[in-house]
């Protein structure tokens, strides 16, 4: 495993610790992180690569960064519900998505941690290591 992939894997385990501290089960870690990582990477595609976003601005990553507390939790649940409706690839990814992070402070912490990394710049090998 390369130094970059070791660092990323360690960061992801730190994210899992945040989830565990909130009572999220081991089996739900990947699902919960995937929703947030997808939103972050979709935003990076727009900001760094100039691609059009399939996610409306009001439901995108920056909308999470602007909120705290109960407002953040409510908005995140709204994002999951809205993105899971309709047809197409995005609704397939988010269909029946549920936020299992109960503490808004822990959700804020997780969002802040994920925001510190540029995920679309990672190579395929690192992404494979993350999944394992």
Domain 3-131 CATH (choose: 3.40.1280.10, 2.40.30.10, 1.20.1260.30, 1.10.10.10): 1.20.1260.30
Please tell me the distance from the alpha carbon of residue 13 to that of residue 25, in angstroms, as a whole number. 13
Q: Where are the domains of the chain?
A: 3-131
Per-residue pLDDT of the chain (132 residues; tens, 9 = 90+): 556 556 666 677 767 777 777 676 666 777 888 899 899 999 999 988 888 888 999 999 999 999 999 999 999 999 999 999 988 899 999 999 999 888 899 899 889 988 988 878 766 555 455 555
- Show contacts of 118-125: CB within 8 Å, 24+ apart: 118/44, 118/48, 119/37, 119/40, 119/41, 119/44, 120/41, 120/44, 120/45, 120/48, 120/49, 122/4, 122/8, 123/4, 125/2, 125/5
Question: Residue 8's pLDDT is what?
Answer: 64
């Amino acid at each position: 495993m390369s130094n970059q992939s070791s660092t990323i894997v360690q960061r992801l385990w730190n994210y899992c610790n945040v989830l565990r501290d909130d009572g999220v089960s081991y089996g739900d870690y990947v699902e919960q992180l995937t929703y947030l990582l997808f939103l972050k990477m979709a935003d990076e595609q727009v900001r760094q690569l100039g691609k059009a976003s399939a996610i409306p601005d009001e439901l995108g990553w920056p909308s999470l960064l602007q909120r705290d507390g109960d407002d953040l939790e409510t908005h995140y649940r709204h994002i999951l519900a809205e993105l899971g409706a309709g047809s197409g690839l995005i609704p397939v990814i988010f269909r029946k998505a549920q936020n299992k992070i109960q503490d808004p402070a822990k959700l804020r912490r997780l969002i802040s941690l994920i925001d510190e990394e540029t995920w679309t710049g990672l190579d395929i090998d690192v992404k494979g290591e993350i999944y394992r």
